[in-house]
Chains A and B, each alone.
Chain A
Amino acid sequence: MRMTQSVWRALERELLVFVRTWRGSAFTAVVQPVLFLLAMGIGLGGLIDDGAGSASVRLDYLDFVAPGLLAASALLAVAGEALWGVMGGVKWMGQFKGMVATPMTPGDVYGGLVLSAGVRAGAAAIAFLVVAAVLGGVSSLWAPLAIVAAVLLAIVTMSALSAYAVRKEDDRTFPLIMRLGVIPMFLFSGTFFPVEQLPEVVQPIAVLSPLWHGVEVARDATTGTVDGWTLLHVGVLVAIAAAALPFGVRGFERRLTP
């Protein structure tokens, strides 16, 4: 019981920091994906839907790319926070060290981070969905389920990347994680085009990408094709987060209470 309460207090802190500094994070979380949506969905989409591409992509491109962007922006918005934000908290500014000098535990700090990533991604997803719906990129009443996809992706990203970051002495490897991990994942997880377009040999790799599972859930939701597969993708995301959690708790314990 105490555990739940103090995770909540850590969440409270994260959300307060968010409220006080929301302008910067709102840009990555909402404005940027909306810009992408305009450029890709309306601009590029106009080109594709008129051309031969429409044969392989059986949806309007806007309908196709909107859920992709919704899911992908959850990943992008959280990744930086999970890497540099955590390094700041355990080292540069050390607020997390201050937190564990109170009745809070390292697990509470970590739990608060993971939950707040989910809450913020959920809020950003709602804002994005509204814009996408206005632009006509949402065609099903299942669409709110896409919010779940964004929340789960944010939780997966935060729990896994912060578990990694908390084990590092400094941020030297972080740009590499972004360039070789996060950005390729962003581009090749069925966000902008179906993974079937990829060379056949690399297609199975997409299955390893949490983003692909998130994109599938979001797309099933906004296009109204929810079925057993959707549930399976949700299950995969939950499983990844569940696997990362103990690893993260241990990492935070070792770092904050050495």
Chain B
Amino acid sequence: MVDGPLHPDALVRARGLTKAFGDFVAVDGVDFEVRRGEVFGFLGPNGAGKTSTMRMISCVSPSTGGELSVLHLDPRTDGPAIRSRIGVVPQEDNLDTELSVWDNFIVYGRYFGLPRRVLRERAQELLEFARLTDRRDDRVDPLSGGMKRRLTIARALINDPDLVLLDEPTTGLDPQARHLLWDRLYGLKRRGVTLIITTHYMDEAEQLCDRLVVMDQGRIVDEGSPRELIHRHVTPEVIELRFAEPAEQEAALSSAGEAAERIEVLADRLLLYTRDAEATHRALAERSIEPLTELTRRASLEDVFLALTGRTLEE
């Protein structure tokens, strides 16, 4: 997928990268490159191998095949050096729950060997970043899930990393906190920090990622910017039809014919891919197809995923 000359600014480079647990291959020979300053995404359903890949990049899980370089270093030999320059937001929070919010910043920063004076300054900034200033001296344990998530994300920045890995950063956040976090991530990007995120939220991938790879069952099925992917695999517009009865959906499917370029059948609805929604609507009316609800929307990465794998992301 990224064959050809190496991008000179590739901070992370994987070739045939593989991770097997015993006989089970979780990541099956993936190739990708993450360039300096971009937001790079891994999009895929549960079990696709996103976390396994992230853990290899963050040097906490040795690969079992292929090549990987991170910040131009080799994870097999330079693990501590690489980890000292990256920030890691794991899928599951692993805060020191018996300690206070403040102590969590300091203790974690000490792991990087940073002096306390520097840490106090950064912790103060990061408290504000996480909007936890008023909870500074509270123990972490009783904080809400969203607050813990924000703390985990802020803590990952204590070493002022060049590269930040975020594994499903906004899972468990309310919509407002999500948008705020997106803002903060844009802020990091503006400062030149390279970000790698995994998500199974379409809107998140579309909003944040400059480029992304779609993963499924340990493999990368395609790669590009959100716009490129949509352009490559689906039409610009989608009409979603829902019917009262499965039988009606069947009937509509058999008579819809040429009304759309492509039709995807889901359990509870039909997706009609079209370049001209107006014309499709007229064609449906001519065939007297009368769904319960009819929704016209722009095509999204969800549709790309469906086209690539034949499955929806939630499945």
Contacts and interface: CB of A to CB of B under 8 A. Distances in A.
B84 interface: yes
Contacts of B81: 103
B92 interface: yes
A103 B97 contact: no
Contact of A103 (B90, B95, B96, B112): B112
A102 interface: yes
A134 to B, nearest CB: 33
Contacts of A12: 107, 110
Interface string A1-23: 01001100110110011001100
A257 B112 CA distance: 18
Contact of B113 (A9, A96, A256, A257): A9
Interface in B67-107: 79-81, 83-84, 88, 90, 92-100, 103, 107
Interface stretch (B34-42, B58-66, B270-278): B58-66
A256 B94 CA distance: 13
A98 B108 contact: yes
B61 A258 contact: yes
B111 A6 contact: yes
B112 A94 contact: no
A13 B107 contact: yes
Nearest to A13: B107
Contact of A95 (B60, B96, B110, B112): B96
Main DSSP-derived SS at the A contact region? helix
Contacts of B110: 9, 12-13
A93 interface: yes
Interface string A126-166: 00000000000000000000000000000000000000000
B21 interface: yes
Indicate the size class of the contact surface on chain A: 20 to 34
Interface string A160-195: 000000000000000000000000000000000000
Contact of A101 (B58, B95, B99, B107): B58
A96 B93 CA distance: 11
Interface of B: 21, 58, 60-62, 79-81, 83-84, 88, 90, 92-100, 103, 107-108, 110-113, 159
List 7 tightest A-B contacts by C-beta distance, closest first: A94-B94, A102-B111, A98-B94, A103-B80, A101-B88, A103-B84, A97-B94
Interface of A: 2, 5-6, 9-10, 12-13, 16-17, 20-21, 93-105, 256-258
30 contacts: A2-B80, A6-B80, A6-B113, A9-B110, A9-B113, A13-B96, A13-B107, A13-B110, A17-B99, A20-B100, A20-B103, A21-B98, A93-B96, A94-B94, A95-B95, A95-B96, A97-B94, A98-B108, A99-B111, A101-B60, A101-B83, A101-B90, A102-B83, A102-B108, A102-B159, A103-B81, A105-B79, A257-B61, A257-B62, A258-B21
